[in-house]
Structure 1
Amino acid sequence: MDTVVYYSLRSLARLLYLFPESWSLRLGELLGSLAGRLVPKRMALCRANLRLAGLDEALSGAVFRFLGRNLVAILRLACSDPGHDADKVVVEGFESYLEARKRCGRVILITAHLGNWEKLARLQRRHSGHPLQVVGRSLDQRGADRFLRELRQRGGFTVLEKSRGVRAMLKALRQGNDLGLLIDQRVAPHMGIWVPFFGAPVSAVPVVSLLAKASGAAIVPVFTGIDAAGQERIHYLPELVQTGDEVAETKELNRLIETHIRRYPEQWFWLHNRWREKDLDQVDSKGRRAAEACAAEGDR
């Protein structure tokens, strides 16, 4: 079955690449819209998350349409060169990265599951000229995992298995690699700290600050999205000022993620259970007080 899935994905990617890009992306939107009707539980979770974030539930349709479009766009990357369409993407603030890299020799790039994050990684590798490792976990379906790893290798970057832990990340940084981290998903309460996210407490891991402190790396947030005019953009933000306060730095990074999700609300992965109520049931009284303080902070 793994082999069947792998070659099916390769064939699908080639087929999609044969069609004009606009046709393929439109097909993706239609399939995404259909998926929203076929998976009611995911649609319900999407709407619940939007409601919790204080956004209009009606965005759920656009979320699924973009999800389908984005999946097609990522599949097409498997057949394109790393620099394909690079000139069509507007890059803002790249000097933030260049200055940080020149000063520190290694950069931790912080982003989220927003826009086409796979394309962001390959364009970062192409523009910078420096090796990039992105932290992630293997897919459960081995055929799909093989396809995705080859797609990323074609883009000029590699995946550092999340299960290898902080030591492997530090080693990559000390060897002069840049490190990409997507930090917008749920973290088990016993592994993280409570921070406000769209006005509600979520558990977030302070690993970014720990890695930067131990390796001497700079921290540069970067996000991507498609604006209302259809222009794809990459936004490099100013380097995060490291104060040694892991909680404050983690809160600031999550605030920046929230800001850019609000900029492109339909382009974030709202189908992830980021605000899991059971998490609050798993913490002690100290943790609950911290979560309540975060909720109060988010309301201000």
Structure 2
Amino acid sequence: MGDWLVDRALRMMIGTALLLPLRLRLWVMGRLISHVVAPLAGYRERAMANLAHVWPEMPEAERRRIADAVADNAGRTMIENYDVKGLLRRMSDTPVQGPGYAAAQKARDEGRPVVFVTGHFGNYEAPRAALVARGFEIGGLYRPMSNTYFNAHYAANMHALSGPVFEQGRRGTMGLMRHIRQGGMGVLLFDIYDSSGTAIDFMGRPAPTVTSAADIALKTGALLIPFFGTRQPDGRSFHIEFDVPVPHGDPVEMMRQVTRALEARVTAHPEQWFWIHRRWKPKRQRKRAAAKMGP
């Protein structure tokens, strides 16, 4: 019953926001998440703790400012991604930059597969929408929500942008790999804590990182192209950039290069990365390291 009530409230909030003009819609959702949801749900506190972990010398007032801006961006991103047609229309007029885009176009013309990789930065769906608006078909993985009622329309919305989209997990990963091996294209987000991952420094701190994107690229012969959608100061437009393809080689080193690409964006625009995520979990990492060492 609790999940159902939460879903009803979210559906009402999303539906009402979608009735508003774009500029007002983004402002309302940004303020609602940053000033109501984030403080109540503990997101502000978590973001500030992550910021202190990376930048311990940062004043508390600055950490709070960034944490609130992070929540504002999260609110804007959520409602943008629920307006699939609107996002596609906006991204069709947004310039696409960077050497990786020309490489992706060439791969499409030649029928070569591509794995796009990005992080929870800016609006991570904006580059995918820019590609779809230009005739690309981009598959992907999504992480199912714990609330099954909310997950039903969340998953449907993921499929609405472009497919095929698979639920995260072994079966979903195999499905995406088959799609890519057949010459398809897909996108993966890599910046989520995974205890099975390899520790790769992110923002100067070790963060367990899965090598799935690199592994799939190596097994299928696909290009591995990092892309990013950086929100601009007006709060609604984006800078869409595709980096040069990552050379094939050791998968951990490939993911180090992808991590450095994300780090560069986060350093320049810290308010646009989702510091709400438990990316490092330093206490858990210390416990796991101690357990491996034994008594």
Q: TM-score range by the shorter chain?
A: 0.7 to 0.9
Indicate if the aligned counterparts of 1:222 and 1:236 stay in contact, CA closer than 8 A.
yes
Q: 1:241 aligns with which of 247, 257, 262?
A: 247
Give SS of 2:47's match: helix
Report the alpha carbon displacement of residue 102 of structure 1 after superposing the two structures with TM.
Answer: 4.1
The CA distance in 2 between the partners of 1:87 and 1:169, in whole Å, is 25
CA contact (8 A) 1:4 1:143 kept: no
Q: Which moved more, 1:82-91 or 1:112-121?
A: 82-91
Name 2:157's counterpart in structure 1. Answer: 151
1:227 aligns with 2:232: yes
Give me the whole-angstrom Cα distance separating, in 2, the residues matched to 1:275 and 1:287: 20
Relative to structure 1, is the Cα distance of residues 121 and 34 closer, same or farther in structure 2, using a 3 angstrom cutoff?
Answer: same
Match in the other structure for 1:52: 53
Matches within 5 A, 1:52-201: 52-54=53-55, 56-57=62-63, 58-75=65-82, 77-78=83-84, 80=85, 83-93=88-98, 94-102=101-109, 105-127=112-134, 129-163=135-169, 164=171, 166-188=173-195, 191-201=196-206
Q: How far, CA to CA, are the matches of 1:285 and 1:247 in structure 2? A: 23
Tell whether 2:258 aligns with 1:253: yes
Q: Hey, what's the Cα distance between the residues in 2 that align with 1:82 and 1:229?
A: 16
Unpaired segments ≥5 residues, structure 1? 289-300
> Which residue number corresponds to residue 272 of structure 1?
277
Return the offset for 1:109: 0.3
Q: Hey, what does 1:37 align to over in structure 2? A: 39
Distance 1:219 1:168 in 2: 18
TM-score by length of 2: 0.84
Find the aligned partners of 1:215 and 1:38 in 2 and give their Cα distance.
44
Partner secondary structure for residue 84 of structure 1: helix
| Deviation per residue, 1:151-193 (Å, 9 max, x gap) | 22322333212211543332121122211100011011xx221
Provide closer, same or farther for how the CA distance between residues 107 and 24 of structure 1 changes in structure 2, counting only shifts above 3 A.
same
Task: Give the direction of change, closer, same or farther, for the CA distance of 1:194–1:287 in structure 2 (3 Å limit).
Answer: farther
Distance in 1, Cα, partners of 2:234 & 2:21: 20
- The residue matched to 2:88 in structure 1 has which SS? coil
Percent of aligned positions that are identical: 23
Given residue 133 of structure 1, which amino acid in structure 2 is its aligned partner?
Answer: G
TM-score, normalisation: structure 1: 0.83
Q: Which residue of 2 aligns with 1:26?
A: 27
Question: 1:281 — aligned with what?
Answer: 287
Tell me the matched-pair count: 281
- Say if 1:156 and 1:166 are closer, same or farther in 2 by CA, change over 3 A: closer
The alignment partner of 2:139 has SS state of strand
SS at match of 2:121: coil
Secondary structure of residue in 1 paired with 2:264:
helix
CA distance in 2, matches of 1:236, 1:149: 26
**1:19-43 CA distances to partner (integer Å, 9 max, x unpaired)?**
211111111122122223323x322
Contact in 2 for aligned 1:196/1:202 (Cα 8 Å): yes
What 5-or-longer segments of structure 2 have no aligned partner? Answer: none
SS at match of 1:273: coil
Q: Deviations over 1:44-68 (max 9, x none)?
A: 2111111222264131121222222
